[in-house]
């Protein structure tokens, strides 16, 4: 059962500064942690990108080309081996 935003669960920080999120049923994976000025912690699910992926996603021309590919119906690919042509 996932905890909704309106429910609170008491968690304790251990001597090494760790907290178990098991009570919250958090999904495994990377999170971006932000510490607010009042000491509140905000965890947001994150996606890790390589430098090259980040650079590609910052290029509008690449994004337009990817959108165009998504909008184009895929042509069926030929099945089987290519036919041999008679050699002379």
Backbone angles phi, psi at 55, to 5 degrees: -65, -40
Domain of 18, in residue numbers:
14-71
Helix (H, G, I), strand (E, B) or coil at 67: helix
Q: Is residue 65 part of a domain?
A: yes
Judge whether 56 lies within some domain.
Answer: yes
pTM exceeding 0.85 = no
pLDDT tens digits in sequence order for the chain, 88 residues long: 444 456 788 888 999 999 888 878 778 889 999 999 998 889 899 999 999 999 988 999 988 988 888 777 777 777 777 778 877 6
Asked if residue 6 belongs to a domain, the reply is no
* Residue 3 counted as domain residue: no
pLDDT value of residue 88: 63
Residue 82 lies inside a defined structural domain of this protein: no
pLDDT at 6: 60
pLDDT at residue 80, rounded to an integer: 75
Please give the angle made by the CA atoms of 38, 44 and 49, to the nearest 5 degrees.
130
Sign of CA dihedral 72, 73, 75, 79: positive
What domain count does the chain have? 1
């Amino acid at each position: 059962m996932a905890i909704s935003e309106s429910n609170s669960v008491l968690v304790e920080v251990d001597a090494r500064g760790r907290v178990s999120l098991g009570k919250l049923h958090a999904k495994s994976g990377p999170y971006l942690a932000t510490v607010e000025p009042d000491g509140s912690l905000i965890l947001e699910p994150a996606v890790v990108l390589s430098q090259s992926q980040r650079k590609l996603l910052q290029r509008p021309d690449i994004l337009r080309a990817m959108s165009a590919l998504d909008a184009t119906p895929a042509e069926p690919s030929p099945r089987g081996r290519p036919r041999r042509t008679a050699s002379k």
